[in-house]
Structure 1
Amino acid sequence: MIPLRAYIEGIGVIGPGLADWPQAADVLTYRAPLHAARTALPAPAGLPSAERRRTGPVVRAALAAAHEAVAQSGRDAATLAAVFAASGGDGGNFHAICETLASDEPQLSPTRFHNSVHNAPAGYWSIATRAMAASNVLCAYDGSFAAGLLESLAQVSVDGAATLLVAYDTDYPEPLRSARPIDDAFGVALVLAPQRSERSLACIEARLCAAPVSVSALADAALEALRVSNPAARALPLLEAIAASRTASVVLDYLDDMPLAVEIESIC
């Protein structure tokens, strides 16, 4: 395939022991340790109080990362096209729905239902930011971050306009957790632009690997454990190269026989 290229103007991160991108950058460059702590998910900014109360962990993870990335880019969130990528949805909500359906009174609340759909975070984002641009929502199991990155890069290349990528996944309660053992919530967001600007942090170029290639791992055991514990955290090798302000090549999980190769060129 022809490589797809874009410039990263903003990054947002939230995860276990990681409150934001500056802290994540310090951890990824070993300027600070990764502390064992559950992901602290803030109430989503920009939403009316009624909608804020209805949000679950998956919406909070997605919007926290998205707000940070857009703020760093200096762009108007309302004008950005967006791609949302996740391997699942609100696991706690799914669990509650299953319990309700298995009970003697299987009556689902409207809030439970509308939070169960895969595009719920995209909908809450449009409410919070008054975004009117198109948004795509996709799922590719453990390759969801790479799938979202490919879709975002394609949009930037074809439309010639900046695009927001948001990837996120949250943990599941038992018994769903036994089938899908995601440890904790993780969210990452990138603002991708077609041209270099004064806000550009790095240039990335992605292409599918035609032959089997080993996926990039992290040297630090704790960070590698985080990478494999959540599909959205598969972005960490890419983030590590950007945090270190170095030119690098990384290979990310995508399809079983076709990973995604990404070239990172530092601009900082």
Structure 2
Amino acid sequence: MNTFTTHVEGIALWAPGLPGWATARAAFRGEAPLQQPPATVPPPLMLPPAERRRAPLTVALALAASEEAIRASGQEPGGLRAVFCSAHGDLPIIDHLCSTLVHTPMLVSPTRFLHSIHNAPVGLWSMLNNNVYANTAVNGAGHSFASGLLEALVLCEAERCPVLLTGYDTAAVGALKHTTPSEGALAVALVLNPESTRHTQATWRWRLATGRAAEPDLRSDAARALGGNGMSSALPVFESLAREERASLALPLSLHQTLCIDGAAPDDDAPAQRHPATADALGGR
């Protein structure tokens, strides 16, 4: 299949023990431990005070990661296309709505219902940044990050424009703990560009392959501590970015298709080294 090139400009990651990309990068490189005590998700300052108080954790996470990645990229948010992805959406609000429907159905909150909709974070981000593009919310269950990344890569290549990708998930609560496993809080974000700029931090050559690869192993204690979150499938990509290594990753999209990424620093022209699991999963191709 065809191979395409995309450049990574902005990188962000936010979790209570890794509040920001600088902290996460050091932890993924084995240079620093998780932050103790864990940090609280910063309030989305771009929201008006009344909305800020009502904003759920998913919105705060998504906006925090998006702002950090955009700031690092040097792009203007109003000019970006955006893809937001989440495996589960806002589980605490969904649990609250279900409980309210069972016990006091006449007291269902319209605001909470609005925040339960899967595209609520990307909608709020678009409005707050006066972004008028047709932005996208993606869900692919356990493959949500890979599906969102593929959507962002294709959009970046097809439209020849920079694209923001943001992924986020929170912990399951209440009865949902038994049906929808997810632990902790995690948000990640990337700004992708079809052109290399002075903000470029990595260059990817990517393609689609038939067949399903195994999920890449997590290599650091810091990443493994986040492995129970619904967005944890993003962590191998961010570990690779943190280590600034030439490596190939295979991200399963389904039982029949895999997203293959050869990543490197922008000034590194040496051949990429495949992880053994990647080569085995793709039959050594």
Report the alpha carbon displacement of residue 225 of structure 1 after superposing the two structures with TM.
Answer: 4.5
Native 8 Å contact 1:58 1:170 kept in 2: yes
SS of 1:125 mapped into structure 2: helix
Look up the match of 2:55. 55
Native 8 Å contact 2:212 2:253 kept in 1: no
Look up the match of 1:231. 230
SS of 1:52 mapped into structure 2: helix
Structure 1 residues 74-223: aligned runs within 5 Å: 74-223=74-223
Counterpart-to-counterpart distance in 1, 2:237 and 2:70: 18
Does residue 255 of structure 1 match 2:257? no
Counterpart-to-counterpart distance in 1, 2:246 and 2:105: 58
SS of 2:137 mapped into structure 1: strand
Look up the match of 1:40. 40
Read off the aligned partner of 2:144 and give its amino acid letter.
S
TM-score by length of 1: 0.93
Look up the match of 1:241. 240
Counterpart-to-counterpart distance in 1, 2:242 and 2:19: 15
Counterpart-to-counterpart distance in 2, 1:122 and 1:138: 10
Report the alpha carbon displacement of residue 50 of structure 1 after superposing the two structures with TM.
Answer: 2.0
Look up the match of 1:6. 6
Question: For residues 222 and 164 of structure 1, do their structure 2 counterparts lie closer, same or farther at Cα, with a shift above 3 Å needed?
Answer: closer
Counterpart-to-counterpart distance in 2, 1:39 and 1:117: 27
Counterpart-to-counterpart distance in 2, 1:164 and 1:149: 10
Counterpart-to-counterpart distance in 2, 1:5 and 1:108: 47
Counterpart-to-counterpart distance in 1, 2:73 and 2:229: 26
Question: For residues 211 and 224 of structure 1, do their structure 2 counterparts lie closer, same or farther at Cα, with a shift above 3 Å needed?
Answer: same
Counterpart-to-counterpart distance in 2, 1:257 and 1:38: 39
| 1:126-152 per-position Cα deviation (integer Å, ceiling 9, x unaligned) | 232222222111100111111111001
TM-score by length of 2: 0.88
Look up the match of 1:20. 20
SS of 2:165 mapped into structure 1: strand
Native 8 Å contact 1:202 1:266 kept in 2: yes
Question: For residues 104 and 224 of structure 1, do their structure 2 counterparts lie closer, same or farther at Cα, with a shift above 3 Å needed?
Answer: closer
| 1:153-204 per-position Cα deviation (integer Å, ceiling 9, x unaligned) | 1111110000100011111212101211211111000000010011100011
Does residue 264 of structure 1 match 2:263? yes
Report the alpha carbon displacement of residue 36 of structure 1 after superposing the two structures with TM.
Answer: 6.4
| 1:179-233 per-position Cα deviation (integer Å, ceiling 9, x unaligned) | 112111110000000100111000112223323433211233452342x312322
Report the alpha carbon displacement of residue 85 of structure 1 after superposing the two structures with TM.
Answer: 0.6
Native 8 Å contact 2:81 2:135 kept in 1: yes
SS of 1:199 mapped into structure 2: coil
Native 8 Å contact 2:213 2:252 kept in 1: no
| 1:67-126 per-position Cα deviation (integer Å, ceiling 9, x unaligned) | 000000111111111001111211111111111111144332210111111110011112
The runs of 4+ residues in structure 1 deviating greater than 4 Å are 35-39
| Superposed CA RMSD | 1.8
Report the alpha carbon displacement of residue 6 of structure 1 after superposing the two structures with TM.
Answer: 1.0
Counterpart-to-counterpart distance in 2, 1:220 and 1:10: 22
Read off the aligned partner of 1:249 and give its amino acid letter.
S
